Structure 1
């Protein structure tokens, strides 16, 4: 049985705990034991028992406490927290020198497939204009979403690999912004209601449009992916891993 600590006691943290405690292996035995769940009092993490993995889908305010726990215990870290600064991402990668660390802006298998398809479409439609639109519930704190940034990376990376020049994001448009630059990628964030997450990547060409869409009906898809990744990450050598490396490598 894998011992885990859950960072966050809100909606996502509570869902992670519920599904982790319900998980069973082929023999019907529990897969996880939750040894601690940390809410607003981050000092509780200082005294939390050592675990095999820490699962963090909270927010950027918990970063230092999470990093300190991983350094102390050397446990695996499965992080789905978005909105980190470049400095925090650099520190997150550095944690991989002493522990197996996985960070992803999205833990859905469907989104993983979407990323692959976006890269393929970019390669095959190099002259098409690309626009990314993401929609989330009205309580989401960061914009654009981590998933939208990952999709943007696929577009920019595919163009760079093909030698198409430098492509840059444009986050929303307003005023007299002029004609669209051929090497810009529009990124737009919509917020409202209780939407779990919708991501659309539009490819606009002469007289035709291709749209790739992923629609999340429940946050459970992210938790199932994170728990599956946790099982695969535990016991790995120290390193900073991607979701693809852990799930498909």
Structure 2
């Protein structure tokens, strides 16, 4: 099997986790890591570049919103597939990914953990089964995480709202002193930033007599790095378009392959 030439965009903690796993993965040859700051290469034992090489098969980007806007069109110009896990995007960021998807196969996911993507399905099922129960979403990350709520929390919230057919105007972020009592369809969203926690997401449903908690805890960044490599191996054989992690997982199940 031909090994895919992989470019890693951004070489922080996530980029280094991807490089470490990719070095032991027979599906990939690391063509280099691209970073505009050009730091971190000495300990990584892979080429650290300021510009993209002319030829490679797929790029994985966990850099930043600014990095996404800079590198995504440049990867598309070279005809390589894109896997992007940058969060905190506004309309400009999403438009950039859509434009890339018209030219090359492009995958964006706020969380590439297999467990979180299963959680998305579980939340939808629970929300439909418990339409009148209160719902509160709590996400916890390390103290250095910039965006809040997290991209994963927003994806979980979207799944909940869609399952209940509830408008986003029913969402309340935090509860300040003097806030009015909870409304029937209201969904509370809370962000916690503390210590070195990789990522925890918890959705609590409650009635007057019982509660149900659905939760996911990432124990290391390897869950995201492994998911990104899984997505990279999958996306390179797809036609141009904008895909999500659920496309990867759905296509890999026996039922999906048979339909």
TM-score of the superposed pair, with normalisation by structure 2: 0.88
Match of 2:178 among 176, 179, 190: 176
For the 8 Å contact 1:166–1:183, the answer to whether it is kept is no
For the 8 Å contact 2:15–2:62, the answer to whether it is kept is yes
Match of 2:128 in 1: 123
* Number of positions where the alignment pairs a residue of Structure 1 with one of Structure 2: 238
Deviation string, structure 1 residues 93-122 (Cα, Å, up to 9, x no partner): 221111111000111111111110000000
Distance in 1 (alpha carbons) for counterparts of 2:197 and 2:52: 36
Match of 1:150 in 2: 155
Query: What's the offset of the Cα at 1:159?
Result: 1.1
For the 8 Å contact 2:141–2:193, the answer to whether it is kept is yes
Match of 1:54 among 47, 56, 59: 59
Change in Cα spacing, 1:47 to 1:58, as seen in structure 2 (3 Å) is closer
Match of 2:71 among 66, 73, 77: 66
Match of 2:32 among 26, 32, 36: 36
Structure 1 segment 84-233 matched on structure 2, within 5 A:
84-160=89-165, 165-167=166-168, 168-233=170-235
- Find runs of 4+ consecutive structure 1 residues off by over 6 angstroms: none
Query: What's the offset of the Cα at 1:72?
Result: 1.2
Distance in 2 (alpha carbons) for counterparts of 1:63 and 1:150: 19
Distance in 2 (alpha carbons) for counterparts of 1:166 and 1:141: 26
Q: Secondary structure at the match of 2:184?
A: coil
Distance in 1 (alpha carbons) for counterparts of 2:186 and 2:91: 22
For the 8 Å contact 2:34–2:51, the answer to whether it is kept is no
Unpaired runs of 5+ residues, structure 2, are 39-48, 252-259
Report the aligned-residue RMSD: 1.5
Match of 1:9 in 2: 11
Query: What's the offset of the Cα at 1:129?
Result: 1.1
Query: What's the offset of the Cα at 1:47?
Result: 4.3
TM-score of the superposed pair, with normalisation by structure 1: 0.91
Query: What's the offset of the Cα at 1:48?
Result: 2.3
Q: Secondary structure at the match of 1:51?
A: coil
Query: What's the offset of the Cα at 1:193?
Result: 1.0
Single out whichever of 68-77 and 204-213 deviates more from structure 2.
68-77
